[in-house]
Amino acid sequence: MRKLLTLLIIAVLLPACRSGREMTPVEYSSPPVRPAARAPETKPEPAAEPAEVIPVVEERFEFEQKQDELDHQVNSFFVILGSFRVSENANSFKTSLESSGFNPVILLSETGLHRISVGSFSQEAEARQRVLQIRRASPEYHDAWLLIRRVM
């Protein structure tokens, strides 16, 4: 009886599983793509040259040599290429600048540093121009800066 029941179930279910219709393959496609709306093209503005920042320090100082003081006493703006705590290092740097064509002067600052100046000016604009000129001509002095003499 069991066999008969099993055969009956199989006989009933077999035709139900198979349909007489043939399956046609379905083609799937993506939805149509519309071009995105584009903003009108704008040409970038030419970048303006950023103004070079020139550090400025105002302090009191004395000249290492009396003759240097006489030569530069009327000027208040000094172009600085180096600062040293040890005088031997300052003198060594001064010598190397002389061999590069500069006429350096050592200033003894109120902070105890030996500042190496390669130019003094009565007008700030002229001093700033000299700093920029040195930076462009000698990239190794890209950190040149401006010292303003503070009156005692």
Q: Give the pairing type, strands 105-109 and 61-63.
A: antiparallel
Q: Where are the domains of the chain?
A: 56-149
Q: Where are the alpha helices (DSSP H) in 1-147?
A: 2-17, 66-72, 87-99, 124-137
76: Cα separation from own chain's centroid: 31
- Could you give phi then psi for residue 70, rounded to 5 degrees? -65, -40
**pLDDT digit string, tens, across residues 3-42:** 665 655 666 655 555 555 555 555 555 555 566 555 556 5
Cα–Cα distance list, 77 to 11, 44, 54, 74 (Å): 111, 40, 13, 10
What pLDDT digit, counting tens, does each position of 49-66 carry? Answer: 556 899 999 999 999 999
> Alpha-carbon distance 149 to 151, whole Å?
6
DSSP 113: -
What kind of architecture, by CATH, is found in domain 56-149? Answer: 2-Layer Sandwich (3.30)
pTM for the whole structure = 0.67
